[in-house]
Structure 1
Amino acid sequence: SGGNYNVRGICVAGSPGFLIGWNEYLAWGATALGSDNGDLFQERLSEDRSEFLFKDVWYPTQSTTEVINVRNEEPVEITVSKTIHGPLVDSFLKGAGRAENFSLKYVAIDEMKTPITGMLSMMRSRNWEEFTGGLSDYMFPGIHVVYADVSGNIGYHTAAAIPIRSGRLGLPQIGWTGGEEWIGYVPFEDLPHVLNPSLGFVASANHLPVGDWYPYSLTIGTGGTGHNPRSMRLYELLDNQNDFTLSSFSEIHRDNVSAIARDFLDLADLLLQRNLLSQSSSRLLNVFSDWDYRLVENSRAADIAETLVQTMHRSLRVDSSTATLASKYGGGHAGNIFLLRSVLSENEIYGMLTDEEELAVWVNQVIETATANIREGTSQVRPLVMVYQANLEGFPSILPNANRIMPSLTTTSANTIWSQLGNSYTQVVDLSNIDNSRAFLPPGISEDPRSPHFFDQVALWVAGETRPAPLSREEVMKYAELVRILPSSVTEKSDKVGAE
Structure 2
Amino acid sequence: MLYDAQTVTGGTSVEALLAFMSAGTWEEFRAAMERYYDPGLHVVFADAEGNLAYQTLVHRPLTTAPARLAQEGWTGAQDITGRIPLDEMPHKLNPKSGFISHANNMPVGSWYPHDLGIATGGTGHTARSWRLEQLLSGDRRFSPDDFESVLHRDDVNSVVAALLPVARKVVEEDGVAEPEVLALVQAVAEWDLRAGSVARFPVAAGLQNTLTPYRGAGLNKRYGAGAGGVANLARRLAAEFAVTGEGPQDPAIRAYLLSWLRASARATSGETPVPDATITIPYQRCLPHNLPAVAPEKDIVSPPLSCLDTGTVWSQPGNVYTQIVDLADPDNSRAALAPGNSEDLGSPHRTSGMELWVKGRTRPAPLSRAAVEALGCTRTALTTQGHAGPDAAPPLTVAAADPAARYVPAIPAVEPPSEAAQPGLVRGRKPDDPRLEAAFRVILRQGTAQADVDAQLARCREFVAAEPALVGQLRDAATLGVYLIEESAAGRLAVQYGSPHVLGKLQELLAELGDGDEATGARPPDDPDLARPERGVFAHYMVCNPRAGGDAGVEDYMAEIRDAQAAGIDGFALNCGGWTRREPHYKQRTALIYEAARRLDTGFLLFISADYAGDLTLEETRDMVASFRDHPNQFRHDGKPVLSTFSGEGADNNAGRELIAFLGREFPDGEGARGVCFVPYYMPRPSITELPDKSHADQVFDTFPGLDGFFYFGAAGTGDALAASNALLADKWVGAGRVYMASVTPYYRGLGGNYRCFETRGFESMAAEFVA
TM-score by length of 2: 0.45
Counterpart for residue 270 of structure 1? 169
> CA offsets, 1:256-279, max 9 Å, x none?
111111111111122234235453
Of residues 237, 246, 265 in structure 2, which corresponds to 1:371?
Answer: 265
Query: Would the aligned equivalents of 2:120 and 2:225 in 1 still touch at CA under 8 Å?
Result: no
- How far did residue 403 of structure 1 move? 2.6
Q: In the TM superposition, what are the counterparts of 1:29-178 in structure 2 within 5 Å?
A: 85-86=1-2, 105-107=3-5, 112-168=10-66, 170-178=68-76
1:295 maps to: 195
Letter in 1 for 2:206: I
Q: 2:304 aligns with which of 403, 408, 427?
A: 408
Contact 2:108 2:124 in 1 (8 A): yes
Q: Deviations over 1:31-59 (max 9, x none)?
A: xxxxxxxxxxxxxxxxxxxxxxxxxxxxx
**Contact 2:213–2:263 (8 Å) recurs in 1:** no
2:350 to 430, 450, 454: 454
| Residue type of the alignment partner of 1:420 | Q
Q: 1:371 to 1:401 in 2, by over 3 A?
A: closer
Q: Which has the higher contact order (CA 8 A, sep 6+)?
A: 1
Once residues 281 and 464 of structure 1 are traced to their aligned partners in structure 2, the CA distance between those partners, rounded to angstroms, is: 34
**Any conservation in 2 of the 1:439–1:469 contact (CA below 8 Å)?**
yes
User: Residue 429 of structure 1: which of 303, 306, 325 is its match?
Assistant: 325
CA contact (8 A) 1:291 1:301 kept: no
TM-superposed deviation, 1:462? 0.6
In the alignment, does 2:256 pair up with 1:362? yes
Q: Which residue of 1 aligns with 2:446?
A: none
1:154 and 1:271 map into 2 onto residues whose CA distance is 42
Q: 1:229 aligns with which of 123, 127, 147?
A: 127
Q: C-alpha displacement at 1:479, in angstroms?
A: 1.2
The structure-2 alpha-carbon separation of the partners of 1:427 and 1:313, relative to structure 1 and needing over 3 Å to count, comes to farther
395-404 vs 127-136, greater mean Cα deviation? 395-404
Q: Per-residue deviation at 1:121?
A: 0.8
Distance 1:352 1:402 in 2: 54
1:303-314 equivalences under 5 Å are 303-307=205-209, 309-314=210-215
In the aligned structure 1, how far is the partner of 2:175 from the partner of 2:257? 10
Distance 1:406 1:347, change over 3 A: closer
1:336-347 aligned at under 5 Å gives the runs: 336-347=230-241
Matched with 2:389 is: none
Q: Please list the CA deviations of residues 346-396 of structure 1 after superposition, one character each: whole Å capped at 9, or x if unmatched.
A: 34334555525443222122222343455599x998875322232532234
Structure 1 residues 434 and 171, CA gap change in structure 2 (3 angstroms)? same
Q: Cα RMSD (Å) of the superposition?
A: 3.0
Q: CA deviation at 1:314?
A: 2.0
Asked whether the equivalents of residues 305 and 316 of structure 2 are also in contact (C-alpha less than 8 Å), the reply is yes
SS in 2 for 1:182: coil
Query: Residue in 2 aligned with 1:8?
Result: none
Question: How many Å separate the matches in 1 of 2:308 and 2:251?
Answer: 35
Secondary structure in 1 aligned to 2:206? helix
Structure 2 counterpart of 1:470: 366
When residues 368 and 127 of structure 1 are mapped into structure 2, their CA distance, relative to the original with a 3 A threshold, is same
Task: From the superposition, tell whether residues 218 and 316 of structure 1 become closer, same or farther in structure 2 (CA, over 3 Å).
Answer: farther
Bigger helix share: 2
User: CA separation of 1:408/1:480 partners in 2, compared to 1, >3 Å: closer, same or farther?
Assistant: same
Report the Cα distance in structure 1 between the residues aligned to 2:71 and 2:92, rounded to whole angstroms: 33
Q: In 1, distance between residues paired with 2:48 and 2:83?
A: 33
2:372 alignment partner, SS class:
helix
1:11-26, aligned counterparts within 5 Å?
Answer: none
Q: Residue in 1 aligned with 2:515?
A: none
2:182 corresponds to 1:286: no
Aligned residues between the structures: 379
Residue 326 of structure 2 aligns to a residue in which SS? coil
Whole-Å separation in 1 of the counterparts to 2:67 and 2:385: 49
Deviates more, 1:138-147 or 1:471-480: 471-480
| 1:139 alignment partner, SS class | coil
What SS is found at the alignment partner of 2:44?
strand
> How many Å apart are 1:489 and its aligned residue?
4.9
Cα offsets for 1:8-51 (capped at 9, x unmatched): xxxxxxxxxxxxxxxxxxxxxxxxxxxxxxxxxxxxxxxxxxxx
Q: For 2:78 and 2:68, how far apart are their aligned partners in 1?
A: 13
Q: 1:33-88 CA distances to partner (integer Å, 9 max, x unpaired)?
A: xxxxxxxxxxxxxxxxxxxxxxxxxxxxxxxxxxxxxxxxxxxxxxxxxxxx34xx
Q: Specify every segment of 5 or more residues in structure 1 that has no aligned partner in the other structure, as ranges.
A: 1-84, 87-104, 491-500
Q: 2:42 is paired with a residue of what secondary structure?
A: strand
Query: Does structure 2 retain, via aligned residues, the 8 Å contact 1:167–1:181?
Result: no
Change beyond 3 A, Cα 1:467–1:284: same
* Contact 1:258-1:293 at 8 Å conserved across structures: yes
Distance 1:373 1:483, change over 3 A: closer
CA contact (8 A) 1:312 1:333 kept: no
What is the alpha-carbon distance in structure 2 between the residues aligned to residue 352 and residue 274 of structure 1?
Answer: 9
* Between structures 1 and 2, the one with greater strand share: 1
In the superposition, relative to structure 1, how do residues 160 and 278 fare at CA in structure 2: closer, same or farther (>3 Å)?
A: farther
Following superposition, the deviation at residue 146 of structure 1 comes to 1.0
For residue 155 of structure 1, give the secondary structure of its aligned residue in structure 2.
strand
Match of 1:333 among 227, 251, 261: 227
1: CA distance, partners of 2:67 / 2:382: 49
AA paired with 1:114? T
| Alpha-carbon shift at residue 423 of structure 1 (Å) | 1.1
Question: 2:105 touches 2:122 (CA, 8 Å); kept in 1?
Answer: yes
Pairing of 1:180-199 with structure 2 (within 5 A) = 180-199=78-97
1:124-173 Cα offsets, whole Å, 9 max, x none, are 21121111112222211101111111000111101111122333454444
Structure 2, gaps ≥5 residues long: 387-772
Structure 1 residue matching 2:195: 3-state secondary structure? coil
1:335 is displaced (CA, Å) by 2.9
> Residues 278 and 384 from structure 1, CA distance in 2 versus in 1: closer, same or farther, beyond 3 angstroms?
same
- 2:156–2:193: 8 Å Cα contact kept in structure 1? yes
Q: TM-score, normalised by structure 1?
A: 0.68
Structure 1: which amino acid aligns with 2:166?
A: L
CA contact (8 A) 1:445 1:455 kept: no
Higher mean C-alpha deviation, range 477-486 or range 242-251: 477-486
Report the equivalent of 2:101.
Answer: 203
Name the CA distance, whole Å, in 2 between partners of 1:399 and 1:473: 38
Task: Using the TM superposition, give the Cα deviation of residue 340 of structure 1 relative to its aligned residue in structure 2, in angstroms.
Answer: 2.8
Supply the AA of the counterpart residue of 1:403: D
